[in-house]
Amino acid sequence: DAGVTQSPTHLIKTRGQQVTLRCSPKSGHDTVSWYQQALGQGPQFIFQYYEEEERQRGNFPDRFSGHQFPNYSSELNVNALLLGDSALYLCASSPLGAGELFFGEGSRLTVL
């Protein structure tokens, strides 16, 4: 059983560009959430998707947007990249309402 898978694993962008990160949840999980982890910090919640809609959002600007597809996979889009967007972006999945929350290995974004 594959766990949460994310792509790409690493990428480099320049300021002002746009990026799309992808996530496939663990089998049987219908809820996907995204986190940003800056170097030396704990992860920060960006938003959560369920039934193809954004259900909750953390303290992130509108430059951060997402999408969930009918097969529960998800994308995170970041527009107008800033140097401060450099971080590890983590996707997590769970069955709705369950206690368990599993994370992927992350996508490491470097903005130059």
Partner 1 sequence: GEDVEQSLFLSVREGDSSVINCTYTDSSSTYLYWYKQEPGAGLQLLTYIFSNMDMKQDQRLTVLLNKKDKHLSLRIADTQTGDSAIYFCAERPAGTASKLTFGTGTRLQVTL
Cβ proximity to partner 1: between 6 and 85 the closer is 6
Cβ proximity to partner 1: between 16 and 108 the closer is 108
> What's the CA angle centered on 71, arms 93 and 74, to 5 degrees?
50
Shortest Å distance, C-beta 22 to partner 1: 15
Shortest Å distance, C-beta 16 to partner 1: 27
Cβ proximity to partner 1: between 80 and 96 the closer is 96
Are 46 and 58 contacting, i.e. CB atoms less than 8 angstroms apart? yes
Can you tell me the distance from the alpha carbon of 6 to that of 8, in angstroms, rounded to the nearest whole number? Answer: 6
Q: Look up residue 26 and give its DSSP letter.
A: P
Name the site residues for partner 1 (rule: CB under 8 A).
4, 6, 31, 33, 35, 40-45, 48, 50, 55-56, 58, 88, 90, 92, 94, 96-97, 99-106
53-57 and 107-111 beta bridge pairing: unpaired
